[in-house]
Amino acid sequence: MTSRILGIGTAVPPARLHQSAVRDLFAAQAGVDRLTRRLIGAAFDASAIQTRHTVLGDLAAAADRGTGTEGMPPIEDLPVGDPSEASPQGAALATVDDAGRLLAPPTGARNDAYIREAPPLFAEASTKALAAASVGAGDVTHVVTVSCTGLFAPGPDFRLVRDLGLAPTVERYHLGFMGCAAAVPALRAAARICDSDPTAVVLVACAELCSLHVRRPDDHDQIVAASVFADGAAAAVVSADPARRGERWLDLDRFGTALAEEGEHDMAWTVGDTGFDMVLSAEVPRIVGREVREAMQRFLGDDTADAWAVHPGGRSVLDRVETGLGLAAPALDASRAVLRDYGNMSSATILFILQSFLQGSLAHGDRLVALAFGPGLTLESALLTAGRSETA
């Protein structure tokens, strides 16, 4: 029996960042030299992003009102874990002061914010996915949660069972710290579960709060991270039971994974003292561009794709995929639209793109390739087939 995605739901926090306003906020930070200011402007302006969402209300407010921090003395680096940088338990995380200067809260304070803010987004996206799939909470047999931007236990899988009122016997799994590509392995795990139990109903839920780890744009990696990453959540309901098919679905035909010959140190995500530290070198788009054609030839074989859902790690990544695979310009329109409106929400992003295809104009039988990239450098892929009922 074939496992399939029955419905997808998405959620974003209410605060919206306008790209030009965030660019100006970062460029105006005290101590930013002329070269760094130019690099900030270039990165933000070339990102192909217009808006993003964040759980950091103070960051959005500071960007919206503009800043006047040039010429002000910079905030001195505080000792690690200085309590003056931490938010009180239960309080919103403070990331910008009244003068518009970026603060450096310790990792514990950032993670406390994750514990408060992530579960409601997991629940909102999952509730929408269940509704889209016409599946009741009591029908869910397995939960697979995904996140790389925070840590706690009992974790998101436990909270999702409690928050949605799922049965206490639901089997739970959590994929952590696999980065932007993790939704594809999560769907693969769901399909494997359904292969072994055709009656299973698996809820896959991803939530990422990338903005919690924002910091001063003092080097290339921080500038790139500040210009592309955002917050969001998405969930999918997977089952192999043909009786659960609605008007539209996506068959999960097969999956593939590949490690690039290089890139282990070009994309990395580690825990630092003032947030999680991102390494995202300028080599990443070039590595993707070099590796993607051979990886897709191995994965697809004689199959062909009618549509592409490519994780928008950034505009340059999409450009390299388009060139490397010889795709026509419109082929990545769905990926570019999600990048434009939401930015890079790490693991949740590919489900936003798949949702647009599930709700869109794919014909019955059209083949869709999902492709995402993660630390390593890892390429994760899935081949899906669109299903449409006669009444759809």
pTM for this prediction:
0.93
Length of the chain equals 392
The set of residues, in sequence order, having a beta carbon less than 8 Å from that of 359 and lying 6+ positions away, is 248
* pLDDT score, position 90: 52
- Of residues 188, 208, 205, 180, the one with CA closest to residue 280: 180
Q: Name 392's Cβ contacts closer than 8 Å, sequence gap at least 6.
A: 247, 248
Domain assignment present for residue 312? The answer is yes
For residue 267, what pLDDT band results from cuts at 50, 70 and 90?
confident
User: Is residue 338 in some structural domain?
Assistant: yes
Domain membership flag for residue 193:
no
Q: Which amino acid is at 130?
A: L
Angstrom distances, CA of residue 5 to CA of 50, 66, 286, 319, 355? 30, 43, 32, 28, 10
Active site (catalytic) residues: 180
Domain presence at residue 372:
yes
What average pLDDT does this structure show over 144-163? 98
**Residue span of the structural domain in which 276 resides:** 248-388
pLDDT at position 91 is 64
* Residue of 281, 282, 313 lying closest to 48 (CA atoms): 313
Q: How far apart are CA 348 and CA 345, in angstroms?
A: 6
Q: Report yes or no: 208 and 148 within 8 Å, Cβ to Cβ.
A: yes
Mean pLDDT of 29-43: 93
- Of 277, 213, 217, nearest to 35 by C-alpha is 217
Q: Would 299 be classed as within a structural domain?
A: yes
Alpha carbon distance 364, 359 (integer Å): 12
CATH of the domain at 321: 3.40.47.10
77, pLDDT greater than 70: no
Within 13 Å and on the Cβ side, how many CA atoms surround 364? 8
Q: How far apart are CA 257 and CA 371, in angstroms?
A: 10
pLDDT digits (tens, 9 = 90+) for 196-226: 999 999 999 999 999 999 988 888 888 998 9
How far, rounded to the nearest angstrom, does the alpha carbon of residue 287 sit from its chain's CA centroid? 20
Handedness of CA 160, 162, 168, 174 (dihedral sign): positive
Pair 368, 176: CB distance under 8 Å: no
Structural domain includes residue 377: yes
Name the token pair of 196.
């072994």
Q: How is the beta sheet containing 4-11 ordered, strand by strand?
A: 171-176, 142-147, 201-209, 231-239, 4-11, 248-259, 378-388, 367-374, 307-310
State the average pLDDT over residues 227-253: 97
Residue at 226 is within a domain: no
**Structural domains in the chain (count):** 1
DSSP, collapsed to helix, strand or coil, labels residue 27 as: helix
d(CA 253, CA 383): 6
Please state, in angstroms and rounded to a whole number, the distance separating the CA atoms of residues 87 and 186: 33
Q: Looking at the domain assignment, is residue 296 inside a domain?
A: yes
Q: Lowest-pLDDT range, 8-17, 45-54, 68-77?
A: 68-77
